[in-house]
Amino acid sequence: MGRFVFKLPDLGEGTAEAEIVAWHVKVGDVVDEDAPLVDMLTDKATVEMTSPVAGKLIELNGAPGDMAAVGGPIAVFEVEGAGNAATGRAPPAAAKAVAEKTASPPPITKAVVEETEAPPPPTAAPHAPVAVAARVIPDRAENEKPLASPAVRRRAEDLGIKLGHVAGTGPAGRITHEDLDLFIALARSGAGAPATLARRTAVEEVKVIGMRRAIARQMQESKRRIPHFAYVEEVDMTELEELRVHLNATKRADQPKLTMLPFLMRALVRVLPQYPQINARFDDEAGVVHRHAGVHIGIATQTANGLVVPVVKHAEALDVWAAAAEVARVAEIARSGKGSKDDLSGSTITITSLGPLGGIATTPVINHPEVAIIGPNKIVDRPVVRHGQIAVRKMMNLSSSFDHRVVDGYDAAEFIQRVKAMLEHPATLFMD
C-alpha cells in the first residue's frame, strides 16, 4: 500500500489560494476515482474538485472556511501501489487532530451574543415624546424596586402612576421629576405603549466567509486600486420601450423574452470600437492596458450566495435575441453556483442593473481589472420638456463609473452620450 497526496491544482486567473467551502467525504471513507471530494471557492466561482485516485482517505487538511494554497496538500489517500509520497504516516496525535477537525466540520452559523451590560439610558429633553420613546420601558429586573426620592414617590402616588412603569435617568436609574413629566406627556399623546416597547440588546455576529468573503475582498481591491469617477446621464427610453414591447408581442415561441439589457449591450458593442480604452483591462502591476477588440460583457447577477459576474463572450457577434438568450443562460449558471472558470472570467466591461429597484442613480464599483462599468437604473414616467411642450416620457438614468487612470472624463462623457443617442433612437442599433 502507498500514500497519494492530492495537492490543490492551479484554478486559473492567477489564483494563489482558494477557500474550502464543503467536504463531501470524511477521514476513513473509501472513495472512487472522480468521486466528489471538496468544493473550493475562488474569487470567481465555486469549483467542485473530484478525487484523482481511488483509495481510502487518511487525512484531510482544512475545514470549511479555511484557505488552501495552490500546490499545497489538501487530502492524503491510502492507495494500491506506490502512490506519490513517502510511506511514512503522520504522527498519531497529528492525524487524530486533523480527523477531529475535518470529520465533523463546524456548521456555518450565525451566533447571537447578548450584551453583558445594559447600555446607559439615553438622555432627552423634557416633553419630547419622540426622542424618549425608546426609554419608556424601565431597564430593570422584574420585581426590582424602582429608586426615587420621597417627593417623587408622593407625586407619583398622587397622580396614580406606578413607578415600576417609569424609566429612570438619574444616577443608578433613579426616577426624577423630569422622568415623571416625560411619562405623563407620552401617556397623554398616546405615543409608545409600555407593553410593546422594549430595548433590543442582542448583537448578531456573522462570520464573513465563503462567497461573501470573496465579494468583500474583490470590492476592497477594486476601490483600493482604482480611482473611480462617476458619470450619470438621463435617457429617454420611450421609443425603445415601445419597440421592446412590440417585439415581445410578436416574437416566435422559441425566442426569449426581451428585457432592456440586450438593447444596451447592442449599443455598447456599436459604440465601444470608437473608445478602445474603455473596452479594456488594466494590469496596473505591469503598467499595461490590454485593449480588446471583442466585447465580453460581465452581467452582475444577484444570487443566494451574493453578487456573481458571469460573462457573455463576444457580444459583438450577437443580435438582441441571441444576447437575451445568452444573458439568461449565464445568469442561471451564476445562480446555480456551478459556473466554469470560462463562464465567470474574462469580461472587458460590466453591466450592473437592479431592475425595478434601480433607484434614481448609482455609483457602481468597477469590476477589477476592467476600467468601466455601466449601471442602468429603473425606468419611470416623468414629465419632460419636448419640442417646447410638457410630455410624459419613460425616462431612465444611466449611471457609470470609470478608471480615471485610463479613461479621461471627456472621453467617458462622450462615450455615454453616444450610447444615449443610440438608445433614444433604437433604429440606429440595427444600422451598419
- Supply 102's cell numbers: 475535518
- What lies within 8 Å, CB to CB, of 209 at 6+ separation is 19, 64, 65, 108
Contact 215, 307 (CB under 8 A): yes
Peptide bond into 369 cis (omega under 30): yes
Angle formed by the axes of helices 150-159 and 177-189, to 10°?
A: 20
- Residue type at 318? L
DSSP assignment string, 230-283: EEEEEEE-HHHHHHHHHHHHH--TTSPPP-SHHHHHHHHHHHGGG-TTTSEEEE
Cα angle 139, 143, 149 (rounded to 5 degrees) comes to: 70
Question: Of these residues, 139, 165, 404, 411, which one is catalytic?
Answer: 404
Quickly count: other Cβ atoms within 10 Å of residue 149's Cβ. Answer: 13
Separation CA 10–CA 315 (nearest Å):
28
- Residue type at 252? R
- Supply 14's cell numbers: 492567477
Helix (H) or strand (E) holding 217: helix 210-225
408 is catalytic: yes
Separation CA 384–CA 274 (nearest Å):
31
Instruction: For 334, list phi and psi in degrees, rounded to 5.
Output: -65, -45
Residue 69 to residues 10, 17, 62: CA-CA distances in angstroms? 9, 4, 11
- β-strand partners of 69: 17
Residue 362 to residues 137, 202, 226, 396, 397: CA-CA distances in angstroms? 41, 33, 17, 12, 9
Separation CA 222–CA 228 (nearest Å):
9
Question: Of these residues, 39, 408, 411, 432, which one is catalytic?
Answer: 408
- Supply 182's cell numbers: 416625560
404 is catalytic: yes
Q: Regarding beta strands 311-312 and 297-299, do their DSSP bridges make them parallel or antiparallel, or are they unpaired?
A: antiparallel
User: Which residues are part of the catalytic machinery?
Assistant: 404, 408
